[in-house]
Structure 1
């Protein structure tokens, strides 16, 4: 609304997203909002980043991941000096190690933005302090409760004992009440592959998305899930942030989330736009010490939590990413 369409002054707004999937979704939604105007909105692809001539390519709003825009600035001499609006989506993720240097380069290249905006469902104080160091006249807007989940999501904790117990529990759940579309989150790409092979034997229309897939495979996995051709999508946290799938009924945390923030983002894929949703989190003996972190989120959003969980001691350690036994029950030849 603030940018005037049809300007030939170069890129005037940059939106940074942590994943390619979220960048593509953001571009698509921006084009919907700008329909009927002369806005040029582009997502920064690998080819465009490496050899794009941005002086000849009309672009008002550029959407990118941190790495690609850094490559474009270095190889294509991308000029961001006229940027008026710099937007960091999933800002706390972008300020994590691995991203922060790239973000710093972008902030410096946008030498005179009128407004810098940060968006996220979770924003710890450390990120707020960092944001204040690069922003002027800061205003914080919170919709709902800070760092909390939607009250429209029914949240459950299910004790499964062991890795074998998880597989039994998800198979039993699907056999009794498969209500697609369903998102299943696991800890790593190796575990995503294993669980996909297990569910492939159950005649469930399942698919998987992880970082080892190429761009086309990842896009197909997302598109098939959106179109209803896939009922169950097994995923790592690569799609836990910001991705908007219409009508997801249930999120299953097959592997316990590594933090309260990861939990909030994962289950936030359901219960969107006024719809109700369900989130089921499996936990084993080794996950028990970290239950308190998730239980606090559940209680804050109005869910009933057993008192023994709330009485667990608080942990200073925020991240929980243990080594887990293999999911696969298949013979090695079949698993390969």
Structure 2
């Protein structure tokens, strides 16, 4: 079995991989990296959790010229969440590449924030198609020295209607470039995109057929009448092994209704769907990551691009229409070698539909266990931790280490009482014990980090 060193990667990348405990390449990494380093176009059919981001990420980080002050790599992704995830992954992999600049551009916030960050051109741009095209139109990004274009989750890019934007973007890129395309499925539209835009591509299939799921994923099905689903769901969530869970519904209305039901029965639940303002979507996921909530009830907007570390369980409350939706939902857990469980609650009719899919053939089915529902609580119990919003972030040169020091020195907290911290461009989130939250916020507000006074407030 080859090592990363055998693939010909630069010492700075090998140093980062060692620090990240990446010891052996995954099949997709083993195949893609040598082809990409040989300047070949590559098509990769790669399922969830296969390691494709590191496969193309290591390839482009090896090729980037940090002395050249120009955009050399563009990674196109279908959603803001995936843009941030890929940007952060590239920064971690490129930690020891000196003076590397990686930026993410996406809709949902002020264009001027991005323009300000372009005073010095990033070497790598990760972007959603609409926002990248805006930058091209305004000439805030000029791709005349582009070396590599990566189309990540090409099937989702097309499914979300970005076909016209892709055509316009590719028109403006140098003809002499390398193109890497990754997709979980190979629809006719994806194959057409490949034919029109890649040159004699090498094809990599990470040992997967119509669709497979992570090896360490257990699939469990629960069959019963639709009216038993709420009680069956609550029973699953009360099991200690369920841990942090992502619950899928097919509509926004069902997500909101189900979250209200769970909150009324003492479950700390958040909602996530595509019509929510971006800050609200960020907040819902942040609460799941830092333990301020137990579950997020989501539409398929969460099925791709979201990487919630240590997500224990996925529950499909509504059966999806298509096999690839089932696969992408279930594949949110058991990522990168971890173990996970994916449940589906199905009526007999839904079970027959799901059993037609090869990807679902390993489901272990049982009768739905639905104990009698407890009455709704007048006020749902809340988690022991809550989240504070801090008015400073990455652009203010603030790090998690800075925040811990400030909350200990000014907030009166012990170091181990400061919970999960997330630092964004313009703000940060810090988890603290709920009973001390308001007092800590009051104490820390007005303290200085890197010479700047901060404001702190409780996130509800």
- TM-score when normalising by structure 1: 0.82
* Preserved contact between residue 334 and residue 341 of structure 2 (Cα < 8 Å): yes
Give the corresponding residue for 1:31. Answer: 91
Q: 1:238 to 1:11 in 2, by over 3 A?
A: same
Q: Is the 8 A contact 1:82 1:112 kept in 2?
A: no
Q: 1:297 aligns with which of 359, 364, 368?
A: 359
Aligned to 2:296: 233
Contact 1:88 1:117 in 2 (8 A): yes
Q: Please identify, of 20-29 and 127-136, the stretch whose mean Cα deviation from structure 2 is larger.
A: 127-136
Matched, 1:133 2:193: no
The 1-side partners of 2:363 and 2:262 are apart by: 31
User: Could you tell me which residue of structure 1 aligns to residue 344 of structure 2?
Assistant: 281
1:103 to 2:166 alignment: yes
1:61-80 correspondence runs (5 A): 61-76=124-139, 78-80=141-143
- Decide whether aligned partners of structure 1 residues 83 and 48 sit closer, same or farther in structure 2, where only a CA change above 3 A counts: farther
Q: Which residue of 2 aligns with 1:208?
A: 271
Deviates more, 1:49-58 or 1:265-274: 49-58
Cα distance change, pair 49–185 in 1 and its aligned pair in 2 (3 A): farther
Distance change >3 Å, CA 258–CA 83, structure 1 → 2: farther
Could you tell me which runs of 5 or more consecutive residues in structure 2 were left unpaired when the two chains were aligned.
1-61, 366-374, 377-460
Deviation at 1:242, TM superposition (A): 3.1
Of 207, 220, 224, the residue aligned with 2:283 is 220
Shift of residue 85, structure 1, vs aligned partner: 1.1
Name the SS for the 1:73 alignment partner: helix
Report whether the alignment pairs 1:159 with 2:223: yes
CA distance in 1, matches of 2:112, 2:327: 33
Could you say which residue in structure 2 is the equivalent of 1:257?
320
Whole-angstrom CA distance in 2 between matches of 1:11 and 1:49: 19
Q: Which residue of 2 aligns with 1:3?
A: 64
Q: SS at the partner of 1:256?
A: coil
Offset at 1:199?
Answer: 0.8
Contact 1:50 1:76 in 2 (8 A): no
Instruction: Report the count of equivalent residues.
Output: 302
From 300, 308, 320, the counterpart of 1:245: 308
Larger deviation: 283-292 or 210-219?
283-292
How far is the alpha carbon of 1:103 from its aligned partner? 1.5
Give me the whole-angstrom Cα distance separating, in 2, the residues matched to 1:74 and 1:49: 14
> Contact conserved, 1:51 with 1:76, CA < 8 A, in 2?
no
2:19 maps to 1:19: no
Structure 1 CA distance, aligned partners of 2:139 and 2:189?
Answer: 33
Instruction: Give, in whole Å, the separation in 2 of the partners of 1:49 and 1:71.
Output: 12
TM-score by length of 2: 0.61
Match of 1:175 among 235, 238, 242: 238
Could you tell me whether the CA contact under 8 Å between 1:89 and 1:119 is conserved in 2?
Answer: yes
Is the alpha carbon distance of 1:144 and 1:225 closer, same or farther for their aligned partners in structure 2, counting shifts above 3 Å? farther
Range moving further from structure 2, 69-78 or 276-285: 69-78
Change in CA separation of 1:31 and 1:154 when aligned onto 2, cut-off 3 Å:
same
Specify the SS of the correspondent of 2:150: strand
C-alpha distance in 2 between matches for 1:288 and 1:53: 52
Indicate if the aligned counterparts of 1:31 and 1:41 stay in contact, CA closer than 8 A. Answer: yes
- Larger RCO, structures 1/2 (Cα 8 Å, 6+ apart): 1
User: Does the C-alpha gap of structure 1 residues 97 and 64 become closer, same or farther in structure 2, counting only changes over 3 Å?
Assistant: closer
The 3-state SS of whatever aligns with 2:125 is strand
RMSD over aligned Cα atoms: 2.5
Gaps spanning 5+ residues in structure 1: where?
Answer: 307-328, 331-336
CA distance in 2, matches of 1:240, 1:18: 12
The Cα offsets for residues 231-282 of structure 1, whole Å up to 9 and x where unpaired, read as 2111111121132222212110111122111111111111112122111112
Would you say the 8 A contact 1:160–1:169 is kept in 2? Answer: no
Q: Secondary structure at the match of 2:99?
A: coil
Structure of greater Rg: 2
| Equivalent residue, structure 1, for 2:441 | none
Distance 1:6 1:203, change over 3 A: farther
Conservation of the 8 A alpha-carbon contact between 2:179 and 2:198:
yes
Q: 1:109-129, CA deviations, whole angstroms, 9 ceiling, x for partnerless residues?
A: 223352111223333354234
1:81 aligns with 2:112: no
Deviating more after overlay: 42-51 vs 242-251: 42-51
